[in-house]
A and B are shown apart, each in its own frame.
Chain A
Amino acid sequence: MLAFVKCFSLKRTKHPRGYEDPHVLASETPFTVNEIEALHDLYKKLSTSIIDDGLIHKEEFLLALFRNSSMQNLFADRVFYMFDRKRNGVIEFGEFVRSLSIFHPYTPEHEKSAFMFKLFDLHGTGFIEPHEKMVGALLGETDLELSEESIEAIVEQTMLEVDTNKDGKIDEEEWRELVAKNPSILKNMTLPYLKEVTLAFPSFVLDSEVDD
Chain B
Amino acid sequence: MEESNRSTVLFDKYNIGRLLGTGNFAKVYHGTEISTGDDVAIKVIKKDHAFKRRGMMEQIEREIAVMRLLRHPNVVELREVMATKKKIFFVMEYVNGGELFEMIERDGQLPEDLARKYFQQLISAVDFCHSRGVFHRDIKPENLLLDGEGDLKVTDFGLSALMMPEGLGGRRGSSDDLLHTRCGTPAYVAPEVLRNKGYDGAMADIWSCGIVLYALLAGFLPFIDENVMTLYTKIFKAECEFPPWFSLESKELLSRLLVPDPEQRISMSEIKMIPWFRKNFTPPVAFSIDETIPSPPEPPAKKKKKDLNKEEDDGVSPRSFNAFQFITSMSSGFDLSNLFEIKRKPKRMFTSKLPAKSVKERLETAAREMNMRVKHVKDCKMKLQRRTEGRKGRLSVTAEVFEVAPEVSVVEFCKSSGDTLEYYLFCEDDVRPALKDIVWSWQGDDDEDDVTTNDNVNTNDNKITNIS
Interface hit among B24-32, B165-173, B332-340: B332-340
Tell me the complex Cα distance, A190–B84, Å: 28
Tell me, rounded to whole Å, the shortest Cβ–Cβ distance linking B118 to chain A: 28
Is residue A199 within 8 Å, beta carbon to beta carbon, of the partner chain?
Answer: yes
Query: What chain A residues lie within 8 Å of B114 (beta carbons)?
Result: none
Query: What chain B residues lie within 8 Å of A65 (beta carbons)?
Result: 332-333, 335-336, 338-339
Tell me, rounded to whole Å, the shortest Cβ–Cβ distance linking A153 to chain B: 4
Tell me, rounded to whole Å, the shortest Cβ–Cβ distance linking B400 to chain A: 11
What class of interface size applies to chain A in its complex with B?
35 or more
Is residue A181 within 8 Å, beta carbon to beta carbon, of the partner chain?
Answer: yes
A144 and B328 contacting across the interface, CB-CB below 8 Å: no
Is residue A52 within 8 Å, beta carbon to beta carbon, of the partner chain?
Answer: no
Q: Report the number of A-B residue pairs with Cβ-Cβ less than 8 Å.
A: 188
A158 and B333 contacting across the interface, CB-CB below 8 Å: no
Chain B residue nearest in CB terms to A80: B333
B81 and A198 contacting across the interface, CB-CB below 8 Å: yes
Is residue A81 within 8 Å, beta carbon to beta carbon, of the partner chain?
Answer: no
From 56 to 89 in chain B, residues with beta carbon under 8 angstroms from any chain A beta carbon are: 57, 60-61, 64-65, 67-68, 78, 80-88
B299 and A182 contacting across the interface, CB-CB below 8 Å: yes
Query: What chain A residues lie within 8 Å of B351 (beta carbons)?
Result: 144
From 271 to 302 in chain B, residues with beta carbon under 8 angstroms from any chain A beta carbon are: 292-294, 296-297, 299-300
Tell me the complex Cα distance, A74–B327, Å: 12
A199 and B322 contacting across the interface, CB-CB below 8 Å: no
From 336 to 366 in chain B, residues with beta carbon under 8 angstroms from any chain A beta carbon are: 336-340, 342, 351
Query: What chain A residues lie within 8 Å of B328 (beta carbons)?
Result: 116, 184-188
Query: What chain B residues lie within 8 Å of A193 (beta carbons)?
Result: 292, 337, 340, 342
A187 and B339 contacting across the interface, CB-CB below 8 Å: no
From 173 to 195 in chain A, residues with beta carbon under 8 angstroms from any chain B beta carbon are: 178, 181-188, 190-193, 195
B68 and A192 contacting across the interface, CB-CB below 8 Å: no
Contact among B86, B296, B338 for A187, CB-based, below 8 A: B296
Tell me, rounded to whole Å, the shortest Cβ–Cβ distance linking A80 to chain B: 10
Tell me the complex Cα distance, A193–B342, Å: 9
A144 and B440 contacting across the interface, CB-CB below 8 Å: yes
From 390 to 422 in chain B, residues with beta carbon under 8 angstroms from any chain A beta carbon are: 404-408
Tell me the complex Cα distance, A204–B68, Å: 16
B406 and A153 contacting across the interface, CB-CB below 8 Å: yes
Is residue B230 within 8 Å, beta carbon to beta carbon, of the partner chain?
Answer: no
A199 and B324 contacting across the interface, CB-CB below 8 Å: no
Query: What chain B residues lie within 8 Å of A79 (beta carbons)?
Result: 333-334, 336
A143 and B330 contacting across the interface, CB-CB below 8 Å: yes
Given contacts A139-B327, A143-B445, are A76 and B322 in contact (CB under 8 A)?
A: no
What class of interface size applies to chain B in its complex with A?
35 or more
Is residue B326 within 8 Å, beta carbon to beta carbon, of the partner chain?
Answer: yes
A181 and B408 contacting across the interface, CB-CB below 8 Å: no
B11 and A135 contacting across the interface, CB-CB below 8 Å: no
Tell me, rounded to whole Å, the shortest Cβ–Cβ distance linking A40 to chain B: 13
B323 and A155 contacting across the interface, CB-CB below 8 Å: yes
B83 and A192 contacting across the interface, CB-CB below 8 Å: no
Determine chain A's interface SS by DSSP, over half rule.
helix
B326 and A142 contacting across the interface, CB-CB below 8 Å: yes
Query: What chain A residues lie within 8 Å of B64 (beta carbons)?
Result: 199, 202, 205
B67 and A199 contacting across the interface, CB-CB below 8 Å: yes
A142 and B327 contacting across the interface, CB-CB below 8 Å: yes
Given contacts A143-B332, A192-B294, A210-B83, are A161 and B322 in contact (CB under 8 A)?
A: yes
B327 and A181 contacting across the interface, CB-CB below 8 Å: no
Is residue A138 within 8 Å, beta carbon to beta carbon, of the partner chain?
Answer: yes
Is residue B443 within 8 Å, beta carbon to beta carbon, of the partner chain?
Answer: yes
B296 and A143 contacting across the interface, CB-CB below 8 Å: no
Query: What chain B residues lie within 8 Å of A32 (beta carbons)?
Result: 11-13, 82
A205 and B61 contacting across the interface, CB-CB below 8 Å: yes
Contact among A76, A116, A191 for B333, CB-based, below 8 A: A76
B331 and A182 contacting across the interface, CB-CB below 8 Å: no
Given contacts A73-B333, A200-B340, are A185 and B324 in contact (CB under 8 A)?
A: yes
Given contacts A79-B336, A150-B405, A181-B299, are A204 and B83 in contact (CB under 8 A)?
A: yes
Chain B residue nearest in CB terms to A144: B441
Tell me the complex Cα distance, A144–B294, Å: 24
Given contacts A144-B351, A184-B329, are A212 and B85 in contact (CB under 8 A)?
A: yes
Is residue B267 within 8 Å, beta carbon to beta carbon, of the partner chain?
Answer: no
B85 and A209 contacting across the interface, CB-CB below 8 Å: yes
Query: What chain B residues lie within 8 Å of A149 (beta carbons)?
Result: 405
7 contacts between A and B (CB under 8 A): A143-B441, A150-B404, A182-B324, A183-B296, A183-B297, A184-B299, A209-B85
- Not counting A135-B327, A155-B323, a sample of 6 additional A-B residue pairs whose C-beta atoms are within 8 angstroms of each other reads A138-B327, A143-B330, A157-B320, A161-B322, A182-B325, A199-B65
Partner-B contacts on A (CB < 8 A): 32-34, 37, 42, 46, 64-67, 73-76, 79, 100, 103, 116, 120, 130, 135, 138-139, 141-146, 149-150, 153-155, 157-158, 161-162, 178, 181-188, 190-193, 195-196, 198-200, 202-206, 208-212
* Nearest 9 Cβ contacts at the A-B interface: A75-B333, A142-B330, A76-B333, A208-B83, A184-B296, A202-B64, A158-B323, A199-B68, A205-B83
